Amino acid sequence: MSVIVTGAAGHLGRLVTEQLLERLPLEELVLVTRRPQALRELAARGADVRYGDFDDPATLPDAFAGGRQLLLISGDAMGRPVPQHRVAVDAAAAAGIGQVVLTSQVNPVAGNPFSAVGSEPGETEAMLQRSGLAWTVLRLGSFAELQIPPAATAAMNGRLVTNMGDGRLVPISRQDCAEAVAITLTTDGHTGQIYEITGREALSARDLAELYADVSGEPVKLVPLSDWMLTWVLVAIGTPWPAALDITAFGRAIRRGHFDVVDPAFERLTGRPPVAVRDVLLANRADLLAVG
């Protein structure tokens, strides 16, 4: 019986797979993706790479066959994750999978204005808990790597333009998230648990501006903007309209406190503190300074 990783070709799925390969024999892993060709190097090593698409339920019985645990990495296609996740959970139950481990979002409450999140993670959690399957939920904080593009832009322009107001963000690296997921899949005692996987630093806009300046060596001035003005600025510099709306909604969600969650669950799971946001930026400093 195998551990099945969905979304295995994505950023998080690949990192989880690397972590699992340190903990499990290759033959105990099944990697499910809509893009099997993206995992051809793992297939060449003997990994069981299978095609599976939550939008095509007929592909899932074969994709999930022989599994004992399923890692359900949440999708982010607006308006689609809950139906997709319902299809995946139903297919897991039909395949006889014993436990589903779900990656979710910190503070998954109704009213979150971030359109790529909204209330969908909370709806998926509730659906999974009603499914009759054993479950574990890891609510992941905002990925620290997502701070690289705004840091690069701020260093290039000397300004951090943001609508996050007095809100705070608690980033955590994808690598740390992947380690927490892998530990949950390979150790006992996690059934029925919800873990908030976050960093240790709650950062304000001013904190971020100072951090970007320190890492880049360039001065960065904080420029607070309204939601409307931020969207206008983003579109004016060439950001596609949907992306501009998402960036604005993310800042609004931070301003309203939806991402201000600090929890020690990561350290309890791993026995070490999470990597600091500063260290993630420093590790990517060359790319950060290459913009412009």
- The DSSP secondary structure of 222-255, one letter per residue, reads EEE--HHHHHHHHHHTT--HHHHHHHHHHHHHHH
Domain boundaries, the chain: 2-140, 147-155+157-168+200-260+276-290
Length of the chain, please? 292
pLDDT reported for residue 77: 57
Which residue from 231, 273, 226, 264 is spatially nearest to 248, judged by alpha carbons? Answer: 231
pLDDT at 292: 54
For residue 193, give every residue at least 6 positions away whose Cβ sits within 8 Å of its Cβ, in sequence order, or none: 136, 137
Q: What is the CATH number of domain 2-140?
A: 3.40.50.720
CATH 3.90.25.10 fits 147-155+157-168+200-260+276-290, yes or no: yes
User: Residues in the chain with pLDDT < 50?
Assistant: 115
pTM for the full predicted model = 0.94
Residue 288 confidence (pLDDT) = 81
Residue 173 has what pLDDT?
A: 98
